[in-house]
Amino acid sequence: MPTGDKGNENGPPFISMTEDSTLHGVTIYYPNQPGNQVPTPFPWTLSLSGNNVAVTDVECLNCFNAIRAVGAHRHYIARVQGQPINMGVLVDQTYDVGRIEDVHWNPWYSNTKEYMSWQLLYGRAFVFARTDWEYVFNTFAFGYAIGYHFVASPQGSCNGNFLGIGADMMANASVQVDSSDAFGILITNGEFTAFVDSHFGTQHTDSVQVFVNFSNKGSVRFVNSAFWGPSNSIAKLGGSGTTGFADCTFTQWDDSKQGHYAIEVNGATGNLLVNNCDFQYEGNQINLGNSTTLARAVITGNVIKGATRISGKAHNTQKGLNADSTSTP
């Protein structure tokens, strides 16, 4: 039950773990963190560094910032749950395969409007900077500003394998990619929604499941993933890298009924791949922007409800765009 450095986010961590150490089978609870008002900052709860550090079967019930793994090569974080408020897991400077599995963040501690409004505005469940071959398996988060945030640090950005990950009720983005390593972020069997329930605050009309920032130069691939919830767009894409969707299901978008597209390219100079996906809502599907932005696009083999509605064109129109979609009544 940590009590020190209340109000000081930059204070020393509650527990610092170094090479070949393990924390197992404990619950961490901040007794001075009221659940009915704006959350109070505290320092990191767990700080991991060195080789082969493990955190297993731990509950971070109401940590402000839960687990920081920086320079923690071959870290192992498994079967962890709770409600971190500001940040759940941060990974950086990891140069040998780190593993995160069965981590579940959910508002079990407090779901009051005052508490959750702050978390939906600022909270990030998983943040990845420089990490080489990160393996993330069966993770979930509910009720944050950003679910999975891929960023750049001075040491670089992330490449890795993300399997069976989920993010529900994200106010800004389920997955936000500011920076991806050239080797790519590979997301398979994901489940994503982006919205704000009226119980917690005002609906954010710009909530999206996937946001790729203009700063991104790497590759991002979604395979066999599902996207739903009352957002206006499912994906807003920028940057000079490649974003791909294969065998994905798009269930809901254009919640405001203003003609928004499921996938919108916003000033990208990269590539877009959309193959064998199922567009289940009868609305606009893909907006490629104008001919001076997107370099190449390949759109093939998709199942579309109603008419095919693909707007704009890629810069390379002959080789890049091949719309071959099957319409259903």
Contacts of 34 (CB under 8 A, 6+ apart): 40
**80 pLDDT tier (thresholds 50, 70, 90):** very high
What is the structure's pLDDT at 139?
A: 98
**204 pLDDT tier (thresholds 50, 70, 90):** low
Mean pLDDT of 89-93: 98
Q: Which tens digits make up the pLDDT trace of 260-315? A: 999 999 877 889 999 999 999 999 999 988 655 678 889 999 999 999 999 886 66
What is the structure's pLDDT at 318?
A: 32
Mean residue pLDDT across the chain: 92
Percentage of the chain with pLDDT > 90? Answer: 83
Asked if residue 88 has pLDDT above 80, the reply is yes
What is the structure's pLDDT at 327?
A: 39
What is the structure's pLDDT at 196?
A: 85
219: exposed, middle or buried (Cβ count in 10 Å: 0-12, 13-18, 19+): buried
Architecture, CATH, for domain 15-231:
3 Solenoid (2.160)
What is the structure's pLDDT at 315?
A: 60
Give the β-pairing of 158-163 and 99-105: unpaired
What is the structure's pLDDT at 260?
A: 94
C-alpha 277/C-alpha 261 separation (Å) is 15
In sequence order, the β-bridge partners of residue 92 are 70
Mean pLDDT of 79-103: 98
More confident: 169 or 319: 169
pTM for this prediction? 0.94
What is the structure's pLDDT at 269?
A: 80
Per the CB < 8 A criterion, the answer to whether 22 and 56 are in contact is yes
The closest of 303, 305, 294, 193 to 248, measured between CA atoms, is 303
In sequence order, the β-bridge partners of residue 265 are 237
